[in-house]
Amino acid sequence: MRAYLSVFRLRLSMGLQYRTAALAGIATQFFWGFLILMVFVAFYSQSSIDSPISLPQIADYIWLQQAFLALIVLWFRDNELFQLITGGNIAYELCRPSELYGFWYAKLLAQRLSGALLRCFPILLVAAFLPEPYRLNLPATFEAAILSFVALLFGLLILVSISMLIYISTFVTMSPAGSLLLFAVLGEFLAGMIIPIPLMPSWMRSIVYALPFRFTSDFPFRIYSGHIPVNEALKLLPLQLAWLAALVAVGKYTMSKALRRVVVQGG
C-alpha cells in the first residue's frame, strides 16, 4: 500500500508542474461552459412545458462538469502506458515488485486529481459570481454537499477502473485509438455530458440507469443541486459501490489473464 501511495504522490506533484497549461485549460473550459449554458437558456426561455430539471439546476450541472472535467472524462489518456504496451517496455513494469493493476491505478488516479485540483477552484469561484441564469448556486443542503463530494470520489474510482479496462484492451488490440474513441464517445453520452440525463427520453434513461457511466458525473452533480434528494441518494450509494467492486474485479481478472499471455513487443 505504501508503494502505491508514493507513486500517487510523485505523479501528483508532477502534474502540478504544468501551471500555464492549466490556465489555458481554465479559460477554454470557462468558454465551453458558457456556450453550453447559453443554448440551454435559449431552450428554456420560450417553452411553457415544465421540464424535469430546472434551469438553475442545469447551471450547477454544467459548471460542476466543467470544473471537474479531469475527473469525469474518459478521453484523458496516458500515452506513456500505451507505449509501454505497444512498445514492449511492459517487460520492465513486470519486473517491479508490486502488482501492476494497483500500480497503474494509482498513477491514473493521481494524474486526474492533479489536473482537477489546479483547475476546479478558479472555475467554481468565478462561476459562483456570474449573473442570475448562469450562476453556480450553493449546494441544496449541507448534507447534499457532503454526499455529492463522497459520490464524486467514488465516481472517480469507477471512472479510473473503466479506463483501466481500456488500457487492458490494448494488450489484445495493440492499437489504442479505435477502442478509446468508441469508449469515450459512448461513455460521454451515457454519463450525461452531452445533455443532462433528466432531459433524455424515458427509454434512453432506462438504458443509462442500467450502466455505470452515470455514477461518474451525473449522480454526484444532481445530488449537489438537490435534484436527487439526500435520502434517495443514500439508497443509490450502495449500487455505486457495487459497480466499483465489480469493475475492479473484472479489471484485475482480465489483466491477470492478459499478462499471462502477454507478448513483449519490439526487439
Partner 1 sequence: MKLFGKYLLILFKSQMQYRTSFWLMSFGQFFIPFSVFAGLYFMFERFGQIKGWDFYEVALCFGVIHMAFSISECLGRGFDMFSTLVSNGDFDRLLVRPRGTVLQVLGSKFEFTRIGRLLQSLLVLGWAVYGIDVDWTFAKAITLLFMVVSGVFIFTGIFMLVAAMCFWTIQGLEIANIFTDGGREMAQYPLNIYQKWVVRFFTYVIPFGCVNYLPLLYILGKTDGSPLLHMLTPLAGCLFLVPCVLVWRFGVRHYRSTGS
Based on CB atoms, which residue is closest to partner 1, 39 or 91? 39
Residue by residue, DSSP assigns 50-98 as PPSS-HHHHHHHHHHHHHTHHHH-S----HHHHHHHHHSTHHHHHHSSS
Task: Give the rounded distance of the alpha carbon of 153 from its chain centre.
Answer: 10
CB of 199 to partner 1, least distance (A): 6
CB of 204 to partner 1, least distance (A): 7
Binding flag, residue 178, partner 1 (CB under 8 A): yes
Is residue 59 exposed (0-12), middle (13-18) or buried (19+ Cβ within 10 Å)?
buried
Is residue 55 exposed (0-12), middle (13-18) or buried (19+ Cβ within 10 Å)?
middle
Asked if 63 contacts 136 with a C-beta cutoff of 8 angstroms, the reply is yes
Based on CB atoms, which residue is closest to partner 1, 92 or 203? 203
Cell of 32: 465551453
Binding flag, residue 143, partner 1 (CB under 8 A): no
Interface with partner 1 (CB under 8 A), residue from 188, 241, 250, 254: 188
* Amino acid letter, residue 40: F
Based on CB atoms, which residue is closest to partner 1, 103 or 189? 189
CB of 41 to partner 1, least distance (A): 9
Nearest Cα to 25, choosing from 108, 121, 109? Answer: 121
Nearest Cα to 251, choosing from 154, 159, 178? Answer: 159
Interface with partner 1 (CB under 8 A), residue from 5, 10, 27, 91: 27
Map the footprint of partner 1 across residues 200-259, applying CB under 8 A: 200-201, 204
Q: Within 10 A of 267 (CB to CB), how many other CB atoms are there?
A: 4
* Amino acid letter, residue 242: A
Based on CB atoms, which residue is closest to partner 1, 181 or 242? 181
Which span sits near partner 1 by CB under 8 A: 90-98, 110-118, 152-160, 172-180? Answer: 172-180
The site string for partner 1 over 28-67 (x = CB under 8 A, - otherwise) reads: x--xx--x--xx--xxxxxx-x-x----------------
Size of the chain, expressed as the number of residues it contains: 267
Binding flag, residue 181, partner 1 (CB under 8 A): yes
Based on CB atoms, which residue is closest to partner 1, 185 or 234? 185
Q: How many residues bind partner 1 (CB under 8 A)?
A: 33
Instruction: Give the binding site for partner 1 (CB under 8 A).
Output: 21, 24-25, 27-28, 31-32, 35, 38-39, 42-47, 49, 51, 175, 177-178, 181-182, 185-186, 188-189, 194-195, 199-201, 204
